[in-house]
Amino acid sequence: MEYGLITDAAEETGLTLSEYIRKMVLEGKIAIRYEVVADIPELQKLTAEFGKIGSNLNQIARYFHTGGVRSKTMQDEIQSCIAGIWNLRNEVVKMAWNFLDKAEHEQK
């Protein structure tokens, strides 16, 4: 029974059984890293929005680096970019919670 648990744990980490046991004895724990690859329209939308905001911020930085004058219009544009970043951050957090919730339900 213990052997099965250990071999299952080793498989989950992607290590051989001997590598797994050695690492557990020497380090006491093994960090498992998962790479999430998703072709999800919502994520693609968020990525595009982050790209647009980044482009706007680069244009603002270029404007100021070339001697641009601080104006109400520029201040409004900066505030708009900041608001956009916060909105996208909130969307990402909501999506993360939804994915975690869905994953927990699938495990049950």
Same domain, 18 and 65: no
Same domain, 50 and 89: yes
Same domain, 46 and 94: yes
Same domain, 15 and 67: no
Same domain, 84 and 100: yes
Same domain, 57 and 91: yes
Q: What is the 3-state secondary structure (H, E, C) of 46-102?
A: HHHHHHHHHHHHHHHHHHHHCCCCCCHHHHHHHHHHHHHHHHHHHHHHHHHHHHHHH
Q: What is the mean pLDDT of residues 63-75?
A: 90
CB 12 within 8 A of CB 33: no
pTM greater than 0.75 (yes/no): no
Q: Whole-number mean pLDDT of the chain?
A: 83
Domain of residue 27, residue span: 1-33
Same domain, 61 and 88: yes
Of the pLDDT bands very low, low, confident and very high (cuts 50, 70, 90), residue 34 is: low
Same domain, 23 and 45: no
Domain count, the chain: 2
